[in-house]
Each structure stands twice: as structure tokens, then as C-alpha cells.
């Protein structure tokens, strides 16, 4: 556990004012986001069958929360870690067309998360997915989509400033693009997080592309990525500078999804070819699912950013170690 306490922190808004601001941000953002991206709001599952292969493996080391049901003896059920795979199946099942998409509220439990200012055992995000053509599986389409998301977030800054001028965090005017290899080349002697902080401190908003492949100098990926949903050549993370914590904060992870070739290549790279026999993976290999682009946008992270909060526990109700709660109380960080 690593807890950062900013010197002289002032939450500005009361807890009740913060609650009002959270509702306003969430309600307003999802409407504007859905309209700008041509996405429809749909319902999503909290859990899936383990055998379906639909659960997200994240970095490949997190343990999903699982259980069984009295009426389904012998079946293992898992709380979703994200809906990256489920959404692509849903687009086909519900009859979406090219350039149409969906978004949903995704809630998850991350039992192995290291709890700190930015990380909670409870995850809440807007998961979204949109159908594209095979020809649109390009870097240009990826960057255009990132700019659209940035535009909506930037507009939210103005919306929050109008209602809460004393609390709003002023964001960058544009997003800067760089690949994970270019970032390592730029800061070869820094750790991954220090690289992120260095570039985002300078640019204020950065999209780091091509996450998943091993980097030349370190021999490791910039960050872990499951091999079976994002195409590692066409994905990335969107980060903003958060003044309250004096560090970069990831708001979204997204990408163009794997096709019938990249899913095989990436599963081989991670020595998990056995997954290719799962139902979801077979649908990709056999080209039974649409080509898509998608990702997740952290709801609590976005509220933190726009209100310049110092702890994710100020904008979501979760559980925290007792010593963290006491330290936050002592330093005027009101956890919900």
C-alpha cells in the first residue's frame, strides 16, 4: 500500500457537494459521449461463465472473483474484470451495424489491487465498443477516436467549471501521441511510471500507443495486456496530469480489437495458445464476430480528474485499510 498525502490539501467541496458533482459529471458525460461516438446504452452482466472465455484476463495475473450457484452445480462463475470480450459478442447478438456501438456501466471487483490514491478494489467504468470495417483497423482511426474522447472530456471541464468554478481542474488543450517504444527511447533510464509522469508532466495529456509487445531495452511490455482483445499494434492508454497528486493518471485504456490473425500471433507470444480453443476465441479466428474498436473510461477516475481530488475514495464508496482511513482523516481527505 502506497498512500500519497499532498501538502496542504483542501477538498474544496463538501461531501454532499461532491456527491452532487459526481452525479452531474456521470449523467452529463455519458449522454455526450454516447452522442459523439454514436453509441447506445445497454445493460451488461456482472458475471459470466468461466468456460465461456468472455472474462477479461487483464494483465494475466489477477485472480477473478468466482463462485458457484445452487441451481448450476459444477459450473464456475466469475465476476467480470472488464467487458472487453462480452461487448463484441453483444454487438453481433443485438444486430448493430458498422459505425454503430454500445456503452454500458461496468462494475467489477479487483481482489488483487494494491490500494492507494488511484486504485480501489471496486471498479466502475463506462465500457464501450463500436463496429468498424477491416479497412478501418488503422492508426488513423485509433487516433481520431482518441481525439473524440478527449474532446468530450475537455468539454466536461467547461461544464464543471460553470457549476463548480472553485473546484475544477484545468486540462490540456490537446492530446499528444507517442508509442511505448518511443517513450522508452526518450527516457531509457526511467521506470515505466516515471516515464509516464515525465511525458505527461510536460504535455498534460498523452496517449501512449502500442502497449503489449516487449520493449527493446527492458525486454518487457510497457504495461501488461491480455493477448486476446486489444491488437497491441493498435491500442493504448489515455493519461492526464492530475495536479492534486502531482502525477499522471490513466483515464482510459482502449484499442482496435484483435482480428483472426493478431489473436493467434499474440496468444503465441504469451504462450497461451490453449485459449484459442475457447468459444469466444474460435469466433474471432473463424471471423464470426465484427471488427471493432473499444475500451473503458474510469468513472471515478474521471470525477477525480475533473474535481482535482486526491483519493479515489473521495468519489466512490469502497473499503480501505483502517490505517489509510485514519491517515486520510488526519489530512483532510474525506473518504466516502
* Residues with catalytic roles: 56, 110, 125, 237, 250, 253
Closest Cα partner for 282 from 252, 309, 258?
258
Contact (CB, 8 A) for 102 and 42: yes
Helix, strand or coil, per DSSP, at residue 185: helix
Residue 271, classified by CB atoms within 10 Å of its CB into exposed (0-12), middle (13-18) or buried (19+), is exposed
Contact (CB, 8 A) for 244 and 9: yes
CA gyration radius, the chain: 20
Strands 66-69 and 205-209: unpaired
Beta-carbon-side half-sphere exposure of residue 59 (alpha carbons within 13 Å): 11
The Cα–Cα gap between 325 and 245 comes to 17
Contact (CB, 8 A) for 40 and 87: no
Amino acid at each position: 500500500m502506497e498512500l500519497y498525502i499532498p501538502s496542504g490539501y483542501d477538498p474544496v467541496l463538501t461531501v454532499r457537494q461532491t456527491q452532487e458533482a459526481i452525479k452531474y459529471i456521470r449523467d452529463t458525460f455519458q449522454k455526450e459521449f454516447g452522442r459523439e461516438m454514436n453509441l447506445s446504452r445497454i445493460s451488461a452482466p456482472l458475471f459470466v461463465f468461466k468456460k465461456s472465455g468472455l472474462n477479461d484476463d487483464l494483465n494475466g495475473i489477477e485472480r477473478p472473483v468466482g463462485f458457484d450457484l445452487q441451481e448450476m452445480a459444477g459450473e464456475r462463475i466469475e465476476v467480470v474484470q472488464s467487458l472487453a470480450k462480452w461487448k463484441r459478442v453483444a454487438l453481433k447478438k443485438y444486430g448493430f451495424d458498422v459505425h454503430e456501438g454500445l456503452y454500458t456501466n461496468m462494475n467489477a471487483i479487483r481482489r488483487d489491487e494494491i490500494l492507494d490514491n488511484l486504485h480501489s478494489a471496486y471498479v466502475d467504468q463506462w465500457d464501450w465498443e463500436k463496429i468498424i470495417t477491416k479497412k478501418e483497423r488503422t492508426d488513423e482511426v485509433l487516433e481520431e477516436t482518441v481525439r473524440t474522447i478527449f474532446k468530450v472530456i475537455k468539454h466536461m471541464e467547461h461544464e464543471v467549471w460553470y457549476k463548480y468554478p472553485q473546484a475544477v481542474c484545468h486540462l490540456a488543450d490537446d492530446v499528444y501521441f507517442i508509442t511505448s517504444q518511443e517513450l522508452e527511447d526518450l527516457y531509457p533510464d526511467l521506470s515505466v511510471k516515471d516515464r509516464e509522469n515525465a511525458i505527461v508532466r510536460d504535455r498534460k495529456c498523452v496517449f501512449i500507443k502500442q502497449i503489449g509487445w516487449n520493449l527493446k531495452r527492458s525486454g518487457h511490455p510497457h504495461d501488461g495486456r491480455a493477448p486476446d482483445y486489444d491488437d497491441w499494434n493498435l491500442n493504448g492508454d489515455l493519461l492526464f496530469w492530475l495536479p492534486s497528486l502531482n502525477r499522471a493518471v490513466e483515464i482510459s485504456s482502449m484499442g482496435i480489437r484483435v482480428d483472426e490473425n493478431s489473436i493467434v500471433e499474440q496468444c503465441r507470444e504469451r504462450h497461451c495458445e490453449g485459449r484459442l480453443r475457447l468459444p469466444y476465441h474460435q469466433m474471432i479466428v473463424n471471423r464470426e464476430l465484427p471488427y471493432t474498436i473499444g475500451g473503458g473510461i474510469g468513472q471515478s477516475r474521471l470525477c477525480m480528474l475533473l474535481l482535482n481530488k486526491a483519493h479515489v475514495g473521495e468519489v466512490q464508496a469502497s473499503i480501505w485499510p483502517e490505517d489509510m482511513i485514519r491517515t486520510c482523516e488526519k489530512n483532510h481527505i474525506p473518504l466516502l
